[in-house]
Structure 1
């Protein structure tokens, strides 16, 4: 009976359209893989108190030694799944892209050390080989950087905070929210703050840093539930999927097409994104896959393209959402019954591909407005300057003309 209860509890954390599967990939038909992983263990991304900085000598939001080790082990796990198919490291076989954070860049490097162990030491005592990791500035990284400026997405998220679902969460956790508002001296206790509360206490728990006397495991369990429920507000509207998840999904599916058309080269097999929990969550939501547990440290999403005998390409989605645990699940993609073809997926999900992301975000119009304001300001300044110059010139002319008609000496005409 206890075993059945445990299995039931375990399965409840999985999406309803999923099943557990084996670790090794079906390489008989495998043609191309996208892997999207979350960085390893890190320090808190935002502190609840400035005094807490003393607890984290690495700094804020930085990868820890354990986080690097987790990613190394994830790389070894990926080696178990794809090793024979990938072979040794080749520059034309894999491509690694990271968001522009220390923790994701370092995670990518640690992962590659596990995925591609060197055949021989780089130099005596250094059993490692360098593998390139690419990135791009946060400001232009709309695929991996959740906070890339997008006014329309921010507006849509503000509506989520005011939604009935958000109100339901506030009501359900009213006691906890009031408690934390008092203990943390938060005048305006908003739902968006709960992730920072969870994040700080989770990081402290992972690193055996004592909690305040008022925090205990029972309360933290409630905080964890609150965090996971609040996280489900992210990316769960059509607009948010299109603006926050659609760009990455479009890039992935278009790369599959490029592989089919030969644009990636014959040897291209594996493209990885070293990113964040929000990256995985946004992509899953855009697929229409909903989760109960937000992506954990050093876990990954795998999107595979398989080539059948009739040349049909099918897409399979796998999720490893347990840190250092082998358990892997496969999702059925909603609206695309197995075998889900790439063509069918493109037809179903292309509605999430922004035709012009900057314009849809409201960035282009803002730029044009700012541009017009600048032009108007310069024009106004030029007119004012010109007017003042002409007036000054006119005054000088009048003054000079008046002095010329007055004699320097006051001569009496009668003399």
Structure 2
């Protein structure tokens, strides 16, 4: 199955399927994935749960002129109301999964949370934690207005969760350059094959005729379908999209072609070793360190992270999970237990489709699957030996910084 088919057929990913003139966005909430996943519960011997997530639904980086009449008010790349609902659903599902491992009131010794500096990630984490914690008793501080919410602290750490934005990181810039410039052979070929489409998009938007611009338009299509109409046959797309003048395209085939570019650069980073390893290596080290502490009876019982597609998907691949793309508010859950032996299990989590969330078994790479039992549990030392080679202990060195940069 190729990438376009995967995008169009998945009922949990934030892409669209097309049937005749109808644009069906499962992300709007018309389709549920309930019953399609092997949902799991926490093992009773679990001592530590780590979870990581991509931010919730957000506005595009570039907005199509005149279309955001009923959406986009939050600003470019900012978390939307749907993203907040996704994050809250994640928090509720995490509470179901974690149960009594940590209390319903936040306690610093029990949990630790991290976010990238991006607003959309911080707000995703904040909203997820609002779903995860319900203050009671001594923590119920303002019942008249905030009876079900209390602030929870977190740490902003970009080398951990947003390496591509870290200043003076030349090796990150170097890893991203052939992706951003579309000079990798497959990206160069994709650009050449879609030259007319990219030029048509550029002509009607004023954007550059690039893969990145097509990906932004794909994000716009998603948001238009979410916000502008529930009768998607009557969604007021601009005329150049609903009645394209580009030879060989009608409204359906045009949108389908554009949607194939969704998150293309972010996903390509996770497939390209130099980019994937640098984006996910520091996070992987943090995870392994936390598990090693837990094996000695130290550290918190829950650790959570909010990040981005190219970082969350990268670390999932480094963890040995087979995953090709990542929906907004989707990510991973890791359990660590000491009985019958120190072992870990990696799970996926996805929105279902907006307000609900599901935690289910991940598909492992063949190398990792060989180490796992039928429930997905892997002896931790074997796991660490397999994936530890990708862990980054010194992010500054990995960035290529020299002494005078510090």
After TM superposition, the score normalised by the length of structure 2 is: 0.75
Match of 1:179 among 200, 205, 208: 200
CA shift, 1:244, in A, is 1.1
1:67 and 1:238, CA in 2 relative to 1: closer, same or farther beyond 3 A? Answer: closer
The answer to whether the 8 A contact 1:45-1:61 is kept is: yes
The answer to whether the 8 A contact 2:161-2:306 is kept is: no
Give the Cα separation in 2 of the matches to 1:195 and 1:164.
Answer: 18
* Deviation larger for 19-28 or 222-231: 19-28
Give the Cα separation in 2 of the matches to 1:79 and 1:335.
Answer: 31
CA shift, 1:145, in A, is 4.6
Which residue in the other structure is 1:117 paired with?
134
1:26 and 1:59, CA in 2 relative to 1: closer, same or farther beyond 3 A? Answer: closer
CA shift, 1:228, in A, is 4.8
CA shift, 1:107, in A, is 2.1
Which residue in the other structure is 2:245 paired with?
none
CA shift, 1:10, in A, is 4.8
Matched, 1:306 2:337: yes
1:190 and 1:173, CA in 2 relative to 1: closer, same or farther beyond 3 A? Answer: same
The answer to whether the 8 A contact 2:270-2:310 is kept is: no
Give the Cα separation in 1 of the matches to 2:124 and 2:196.
Answer: 38
Which runs of 5 or more residues in structure 1 are unaligned? 14-18, 369-415
Residues 8-407 of structure 1 aligned to structure 2 (within 5 Å): 9-10=9-10, 21-47=37-63, 56-91=72-107, 92-119=109-136, 122-136=142-156, 138=158, 141-149=159-167, 150-160=169-179, 161-186=182-207, 188-208=208-228, 210-216=236-242, 218=252, 219-264=254-299, 268-292=300-324, 294-309=325-340, 311-320=341-350, 322-324=352-354, 326-327=357-358, 328-336=360-368, 337=370, 338=372, 339-364=377-402, 367=405
The answer to whether the 8 A contact 1:47-1:53 is kept is: no
The answer to whether the 8 A contact 2:89-2:128 is kept is: yes
Give the Cα separation in 1 of the matches to 2:81 and 2:351.
Answer: 20
Which residue in the other structure is 2:29 paired with?
none
Give the Cα separation in 2 of the matches to 1:162 and 1:200.
Answer: 25
Give the Cα separation in 2 of the matches to 1:313 and 1:273.
Answer: 21
CA shift, 1:366, in A, is 6.7
Cα displacement string for residues 201-228 of structure 1 (whole angstroms, at most 9, x for unaligned residues): 3223322184311214622232221225
Which runs of 5 or more residues in structure 2 are unaligned? 14-34, 230-235, 243-250
The structure in which a higher percent of residues are helix is 1
1:134 and 1:165, CA in 2 relative to 1: closer, same or farther beyond 3 A? Answer: same
CA shift, 1:259, in A, is 1.0
CA shift, 1:9, in A, is 4.7
Give the Cα separation in 1 of the matches to 2:12 and 2:76.
Answer: 33
Give the Cα separation in 2 of the matches to 1:44 and 1:249.
Answer: 28
Cα displacement string for residues 270-312 of structure 1 (whole angstroms, at most 9, x for unaligned residues): 11112222331121232344433x3222223112223331x33
CA shift, 1:32, in A, is 1.0
Cα displacement string for residues 318-358 of structure 1 (whole angstroms, at most 9, x for unaligned residues): 23265435553422244222142221222222222235322
Q: How many residues align?
A: 350
The answer to whether the 8 A contact 1:40-1:63 is kept is: yes
Give the Cα separation in 2 of the matches to 1:31 and 1:364.
Answer: 40
The answer to whether the 8 A contact 1:306-1:313 is kept is: yes
Which structure has the bigger radius of gyration? 1
Give the Cα separation in 1 of the matches to 2:178 and 2:279.
Answer: 15
